[in-house]
Amino acid sequence: MTSNTDGSGYFLYHSIGMYPGKAQAMEQALCNYAKVWGTPDDSQWPQVLGNRQRFIDLWTDLIGADAGTLTSSENVTTALMSLIGGLPEDCLRGRSLLVAGDCFPSLHFLLAGLAPRLGFTLRTVRLRPGESWVRDEDMIEAWDESVGLALLTFVTSTASHRCDLDTLVAHGRKMGSLVGVDVTQGIGLIPYDVQAPMVDFTVSSSLKWLGGTSGAGILHVARPLLQACRPELRGWFSQENPFSWDLDAFSFAPDARRFDHGTPSVLACVGSVPALEWNAAQDAQAMLDHNRKLSGMILEAAPDLGLTPVSPTDDARRGGSVMLRLPEGPDPAQTVSAPRDKGLFTDCRGRILRLSPGSVTTEDGVMRLLAALAGTRGAA
């Protein structure tokens, strides 16, 4: 027997993400934090900064980064701001910054605002009419030697399209561009290694397939670029010794700590460590196989339900989500709300139904979802 809270019908890994025992593991981690932070002694900072370092180390291992090249950030937007604000001026001034039109909107909002001040042209590769993702070949066509930096989206949040990183990064090297990747919608399920192909920087959150908390983002910067960066968003934690109070002797830390600034937010890191530890202990291929099996069940049933895939049907070109266009008639809000009472959790963006089966989702959950979708269609 299933319940509304057993996770078998959870399809929201593109949003928050779950793992078995998440509530209990997070509760223990946060209660331990509260106990340390609420004890009237002098042990707080050594302990909580150690927790933050554990978060950084787990992320470093997850993406194959070199030690000292990764730090925490509140979210992908602040991580990107820290990176852009630290680049040598000639990287972008008078050049173009290339991004796909299906990138995460928050990043585009940031870049559009920075372009006039930093003197670069934001070049956005738009979707072709009637298509659901920006084609890799269109990115390459727009990517010439004027591009100082390209920001790639590993897996899109709108169609679960997985870009061809090997081809795109190789082209970027020929053009002499810096290459960064937003891995938020794929990391934790789809394999990613910052050194295969080698990229200049990576940004992400710990949500989605990792199942961490909000506010637990990361910034990785490869060492050659890291050494050249002088972040304008800086503070006492940007230094080798944060406790240096000499106002005339500021110097950047030699590693990724230079991208830190004021007092770090450690609570989100503490809350996300259990998720990262759980993920690191799993058989990565088995998790991906589980997702592919459940996703295949959804894609196979979609035509009979009047649902049109807007995600790639090729596993190699798709992330972990399956996006389906609802037919005219059913109210998208009703499509989401009606199954909720049966422990089936999905969401819609407009008429696009987003389904992301993960580690707690089961075959029974998929079958119950398909039956509920058939019922919603029949009631329209």
3-class state of residue 176 by DSSP: coil
Q: Which residues of the chain have pLDDT under 50?
A: 1, 380
Is residue 102 a part of any domain in this protein? yes
> CATH number for the domain including 302?
3.90.1150.10
pLDDT value of position 318: 98
pLDDT value at residue 62 = 98
Identify whether residues 52 and 161 lie together within a single domain: yes
pTM of the model: 0.96
Same domain, 308 and 273: no
Per-residue tokens: 105: 């909107």
Residue by residue, DSSP assigns 285-324 as HHHHHHHHHHHHHHHHHTGGGT-EE-S-SSGGGB-S-EEE
Residue 268: Cβ within 10 Å count = 22
Which domain range does residue 96 map to? 42-280
Task: Please name the residue that has the structure tokens 């990724």.
Answer: 256
Question: Which positions ≥6 away from 371 have C-beta within 8 Å?
Answer: none
Same domain? For 241 and 311 the reply is no
Residues 195 and 292 in one domain: no
Structure tokens at 131: 């298509």
Count CB-CB contacts under 10 A for residue 115. 16
Q: Do both 163 and 312 map to the same domain?
A: no
Q: Residue 125 belongs to what H/E stretch?
A: strand 121-125
The residue length of the chain stands at 380
Nearest to 165, CA basis, from 148, 156, 153, 147: 153
Supply the pLDDT for residue 57: 98
| Residues 296, 154 share a domain | no
Residue 1: per-residue pLDDT:
44
Residue 127 in domain: yes
The torsion defined by the Cα of 120, 125, 126 and 132, in degrees rounded to 10, comes to -140
